[in-house]
Amino acid sequence: MSREDELLYYLESTPPAQMLRDINGKEPLSVDVQLAERLINTHELPVGVVNVLLQYVHLRNDGKITNNFVERIASHWMNKKVTTAKEAMELSRKDHDKYMKWKNEGQQAAPPRQQRKEKVPEWFYKKDDQKKTEKPTKSNADIEEERRKLIEELRGEGSGVK
């Protein structure tokens, strides 16, 4: 048997809980086992397909098996009528190749876009000019006088006990 044939035999004949144990090197979490059982019992996916699916998600997400992501892929595979581990492996390889191509294309430098120049109406500038001219400037002496008055008022109010 070739290595791929051995892998296919392993995926088709091994329970998902055992396969998860083998991947992680320790007892899998009950959430992952329940997910695998739900895919087999509720969605009637073959054991081999579930094993390929779990391995694919595990490899693609750096060891993180996310329920929603697994179920999305399972739905896609069910629509494609995937029934064997071999079909699942081929589809996962194609999907992975598409993903890597898309990811690499996105990393290439995009051509620079022309910056859009907004037309600003004339009244917008006139409004700013009017605000500048309307604002009277206070001298430092006026500011100091206001400050002194406020301090006197605060001292007068602060002496009374409420």
What's the token pair of residue 112? 């620079």
Residues 6+ apart with CB under 8 A from 141: none
List the domain boundaries for the chain: 3-106, 129-157
Instruction: Report which DSSP code applies to 45.
Output: -
Lowest-pLDDT choice from 50-54, 111-115, 155-159 = 111-115
Query: Is the pLDDT reported for residue 88 higher than 80?
Result: yes
- pTM, 2 dp: 0.62
